[in-house]
Each structure stands twice: as structure tokens, then as C-alpha cells.
Amino acid sequence: MERHVLESLLAGDDEASVIALATLRSGATYWVADADRAQPAGVHAGVFKGRLQRMRMHGLEPLGLERAVQLVSEHGRPVRTGLIDSADRTWTTLLFLTEDGSALVACAGWPLPLVKKPPL
């Protein structure tokens, strides 16, 4: 997917989309799965619901992930995933796109690294 196409899909006004667009425009790297890698919405919703619970157990509240899980579940059709990683590697955004890649279903983001290394 070309960068300008992805930018146009991130036109929403929710906080996760706004941050994703700003991150992408600031030189982030990104990846979007091909259409043949789309998975049923229920699979993604289940996986990321579990990841949300684990993140919360470790004191992390990912931006928009609870909402993304709900929107993907409600979407009910296969979705493709994608990632946007900030140029400085301090933030990542998870994207859920329609199977054909023509629309954003939801996105969520969180700071990196997820695991803090103990001091030596």
C-alpha cells in the first residue's frame, strides 16, 4: 500500500487515528498485510482482547485498543492488519483494515518498548 493511500485512510478524528497519521507523516515505517492474509474479524478480536488484558496486567493502557477490539468484532468480516512504527521506535500503531484495504476499521497504539529491562 502506498503511503499516501494509507494517509488518506487515517482521516478519522479519534485520537489513535490522529496520532497514527502524524506518526506516518513524520517518517515512520509501515507495513500492511496483503489481502490474502486477511483473517476473520473474530480471530483478531479474540487475540487482541487477550493482549489488551495482558497489557493492562502490566500497567499499560494502549490507546484505542479496547475500542479497536469492539469495532473489529462488530465489523464481522475479514480484516487485514498493518503496523506503523515511529522513526525513533518509541511508538507503534496497529491498524485493522477492510479485506480489500479500502477503509480503516480501527487502529490502536502504544509506546515502545512494552517491556522495561531491569537495571543492571
Residue range 56-106, pLDDT digits in tens = 998 899 999 999 999 999 999 999 999 999 999 999 999 999 999 999 999
Q: In the prediction, which pLDDT does 120 show? A: 63
One-letter amino acid of 89: R
Amino acid at position 112, single letter? L
CA 12, CA 47: separation in Å to the nearest integer? Answer: 24
How far lies 63's CA from each of 17, 18, 34, 76, in Å?
10, 11, 25, 22
Q: What is the pLDDT of residue 9?
A: 97
Q: pLDDT tens digits for 32-65?
A: 999 999 999 999 999 999 999 999 998 899 999 9
Using an 8 Å Cβ cutoff, are 2 and 101 in contact? no
Strand partners, 96: 81, 106
Which pTM value belongs to this model?
0.90
Would you state the pLDDT for residue 115? 61
